[in-house]
Amino acid sequence: MIDQVTVQKIIDAAEITSLIQEFVSLKRRGANYLGLCPFHNEKTPSFTVSPSKGIFKCFGCGKAGNAVSFIMAHEQLSYPEALRYLAKKYNIHIEEKELTVEDIRANTERESMNIVNEAACKYFENTLFNSDEGISIGLSYFKERGFNEQVIKEFRLGYSLEQKNAFTEWALKNGYKKEFLESTGLSFFKENYYFDRFAARVMFPILSIAGQVVGFGARTLSNDKKTAKYLNSPESLVYNKSKVVYGLFHAKNEIIKQNKKCYLVEGYMDVISLFMTGIKNVVSSSGTSLTEDQIRQIHRFADDITILYDGDLAGIKASLRAIDMILEQGLNVRIVLFPEGEDPDSYAKKHGSSKTIEYIEKNETDFISFKANLLFDEAKNDPIKRASLITDIVRSIAIINDNIKQSIYIQECSKILDVDQSVLYAEVLKIRRSKIESIKKQEYRYSQPVKLTPSLPDSFEGIYFESQEKEIIRLLLLYGNNIIDIKDGATETELEISVAQFIINELRSEGLEFKNVINKKIFLFAEELINNDEPIKIELFTHNLDPEISQVSVNLCSSKYELSPIWEKRGSPILKEEKRLQEILEDVFIKYKLKIAKEFETNVKNKIKLLTESKNDEELQSTLEDFKKIKGILKDLSNMQGRVIL
Ligand code: ZN
């Protein structure tokens, strides 16, 4: 358990912009910062960070929160894990309360797996440098490959002993649980024995963007053809192969420094070799062929990717596939092929650092020249092949969403292939049009059922109800201190009252309570502030120690909703809702009460039915009275609603 004082310290220390900047490349936009959302797939940035409010919000997928919730969502951590993560980062000592049995149980599986992976990484590092076998086999292998000690330590390389269960034995002896050794894939357990997954291999830990060890790649040093050259950790709760980009943790800052340019290579060795030559903005998809998710991860820091692959057939094929995927995600792509049979690692080892850099600079080509060079010789005298080459390149150009970029590429292509620009434009348009048609068809399909249901079905009632509660809370938090004029029905006089006071009166005088527990918590906290004559300060809610309160508050107070949805729907002239608070509040409460009254009406109707059946005349009489009353209330509310809508 972390005590509340420490929690507050952590929350105060976490500066949201610099924190998020470690994961997302942000640009200043007025008072806010803007970047590509790390939580959904997007090409134009809609992820906003507000340093003054200390919150983030994505207008694409709706994800929002404060510094703690960002780390929770991004690193897939629980609330206490996220707090510990931030405490470590900002050097805040955590005063741990005595751990109870529940606390220990609350240490989630994920956290335990992270702990085991980190311990394993340290163990393998230690074995590499401090055991005879590690030094004579592992370390000498790395040194042979030209790695110096600094880079070995930086990438946390390690060694796993030949003895088949050395690691597992060590781990069990040191109290690491079988369960997590198994779920991380580090060990196998059979009925009477256990063994290591990675025995007799050099180890490449795979780090998350935040630097946490999530898995391992391991290379065998044996020449036995039956042994797989590389083994990887299996997919697990903490390791998602298709999402992790090897080297991104080390490369991210350099990518930003190098004008958002990133080199993409194939293996672990390539990354480390280039890193040593001084090219530090380098990553690899390692373990899988490049995925869309990986490109998205890279795109968070980079706008330009240069592919550095082996010049053999497999390398060329992989490059062609990568080109279209990268273009589709809105990045620029260039290609460097190394001489056949060479990869960046072997080239760097043979020719040294400056020659390698020179080679890359000289041979970097855009994707059109790359494709053209690849196929042109073959296609030069064959009109059919030539036509299909042109179509192929045009297809890639059509993927690009940016019109300016697209026309530049068309010019380039026209020059290289000696085809009229207008012909190329026509082709691109044709491809794009057919794409748009197919998207439209899909959208049409999705929109069908919605159009067929003009009124909300019963099952949506609860959600509808919830939306009234949320709207009231939103107004309470954003405008709680604003003063409005209301007419007091009894005395016919104008009263000045704060929005918060108005909301509290409306709810309390009718004996109404929010159904949603978190909404209720927020309301009670606001009420307490008002009763103590304290203003409603939004930070008290968005940075509340209760993560549920802070999350809901952030969601409700993000600026997209500065205009009430009510006004947007009605198509009224767009006025700041601050100027129409009175009307908005009235409208919300009428809707809210209507909803409650209707629910009440349904209950009373059911009761009448039951009482009639059971012939309980006395109670039936009083229930019929209730029914009359509620009908009257419903009528009044409907009339009021009509008035407000005018
Ligand atoms: Zn998003």
Note the pLDDT tens digit of each residue in 544-561.
888 888 888 888 877 544
Could you tell me the distance, in angstroms and rounded to a whole number, from the CA of residue 33 to the centre of ligand 1?
14
Q: What order do you get walking across the sheet with 304-310 strand by strand?
A: 282-284, 261-265, 304-310, 332-338, 365-366
What is the chain's alpha carbon radius of gyration, rounded to the nearest angstrom?
Answer: 32
* Ligand 1 centroid distance, CA of 533 (Å): 38
Question: For residues 36 and 24, what is the distance between their CA atoms, to the nearest angstrom?
Answer: 7
Residue 449 has pLDDT above 60, yes or no: no
Q: Per mean pLDDT, which of 1-10, 84-93, 158-167, 551-560 is the most reliable?
A: 158-167
> What is the CA(58)–ligand 1 centre distance, in A?
5
- Provide, rounded to the nearest whole percent, the portion of the chain with pLDDT above 70: 88
**625 versus 24: which is more confidently predicted?**
24
Of 463-472, 529-538, 540-549, where does mean pLDDT reach its minimum?
A: 463-472
Percent of the chain whose predicted confidence (pLDDT) is above 90: 28
The Å distance, Cα 121 to ligand 1 centre, comes to: 33
Specify the pLDDT at position 133: 96
Q: How far apart are the first and last CA of the chain?
A: 55
Residue 575 pLDDT greater than 60, yes or no: no
DSSP, collapsed to helix, strand or coil, labels residue 83 as helix
How many whole angstroms from 100 Cα to the centroid of ligand 1? 37
Q: With bands split at pLDDT 50, 70 and 90, how would you rate the model's confidence at 452? A: very low
Q: Is the pLDDT of residue 642 over 70?
A: no
Distance in Å, CA 69 to ligand 1 centroid: 14
612 CA from centroid of ligand 1 (Å): 55
CA of 276 to the centre of ligand 1 (A): 35
User: How many whole angstroms from 328 Cα to the centroid of ligand 1?
Assistant: 18
Euclidean distance between CA atoms 371 and 511, whole angstroms: 73
Rounded to an integer, the average pLDDT of 3-8 is 80
Q: How far is the CA of 37 from the centre of ligand 1 (A)?
A: 4
* DSSP 8-state symbol, 2: B
Ligand 1 centroid vs 49 CA: distance in angstroms?
Answer: 12
Looking at residue 244, what is its pLDDT? 92
Structure tokens at 76: 């897939």
Task: Give residue-wise pLDDT tens across range 405-432.
Answer: 888 888 888 888 888 888 888 888 888 7
Which pLDDT band holds residue 451 (cuts at 50, 70, 90)?
A: very low
Instruction: Report how far residue 265's alpha carbon sits from residue 246's, in angstroms, rounded to the nearest whole number.
Output: 10
30 CA distance to ligand 1 middle (Å) = 20
Q: Which of 40-44, 291-295, 429-433, 490-494 has the lowest mean pLDDT?
A: 490-494
**In this structure, what are the phi and psi dihedrals at residue 144, rounded to the nearest 5 degrees?**
-60, -40
Average pLDDT over residues 328-338: 89
CA dist 360 and 557 (Å) reads 49
- What is the mean pLDDT of the segment spanning 145-154? 94
> Among 299-308, 432-441, 479-488, 513-522, which is the least confidently predicted range?
432-441
Amino acid at 318: A
Over residues 132-153, the mean pLDDT reads: 94
Q: Which amino acid is at 505?
A: N
Range 439-453 average pLDDT? 40
Phi (first) and psi of residue 599, to 5 degrees:
-65, -40
Per-residue model confidence (pLDDT) at position 4:
76
For residue 46, report the distance from its CA to the centre of ligand 1, in Å: 7
Query: Is the confidence at residue 462, as pLDDT, over 60?
Result: no
CA of 59 to the centre of ligand 1 (A): 6
The residue-averaged pLDDT of 271-290 equals: 90
User: pLDDT for 91-125, tens place per residue?
Assistant: 888 766 655 655 555 557 778 898 999 999 999 99
CA angle 442, 446, 447 (to 5 degrees): 115
**If you measure from the C-alpha of residue 237 to the centroid of ligand 1, how many angstroms do you get, rounded to a whole number?**
22
- CA 50 – ligand 1 centroid, Å: 15
Averaged pLDDT, 260-277? 93
In this prediction, residue 457 carries a pLDDT of 30
Average pLDDT, the chain: 83
Task: State the average pLDDT over residues 184-198.
Answer: 93
Spatial strand order of the sheet with 230-232 comes to 158-160, 201-207, 213-220, 230-232
Q: Cα of 40 to ligand 1 centre, how many Å?
A: 4
What is the Å distance from ligand 1's center to 463 Cα?
A: 23
Q: What is the pLDDT of residue 322?
A: 92
Q: What pLDDT is recorded for position 438?
A: 66
Given this model, what pLDDT does residue 51 score? 85
Torsion on CA atoms 206, 210, 211, 215, rounded to nearest 10: -30
Residue range 18-45: mean pLDDT, rounded:
88
Distance, CA 549 to ligand 1 centroid (Å)?
Answer: 21
pLDDT of 447 > 60? The answer is no
Q: Is 442's pLDDT higher than 60? A: no
> 56 with 50: CB under 8 angstroms?
yes
pLDDT band at 272 (very low <50, low <70, confident <90, very high): very high
Question: What is the structure's pLDDT at 75?
Answer: 81
Model confidence pLDDT, tens digit, residues 165-186: 999 999 999 999 999 999 999 9
Ligand 1 geometric centre to CA of 316 (Å): 34
pLDDT tens per residue across span 576-632 = 777 788 888 888 888 888 887 787 788 778 878 888 887 777 778 878 887 888 788
- Which residues, including other chains, have CB under 8 Å from residue 141's CB and lie 6 or more apart? 202, 221
Q: What is the mean pLDDT of residues 526-554?
A: 84
pLDDT at 568 over 90: no
- Above 60 in pLDDT, residue 218? yes
d(CA 263, CA 304) in angstroms, rounded, equals: 8
Residue 471 alpha carbon to ligand 1 centre in Å:
22
Q: If you average pLDDT over residues 501-506, what whole number do you get?
A: 84
pLDDT at residue 622, as a whole number? 79
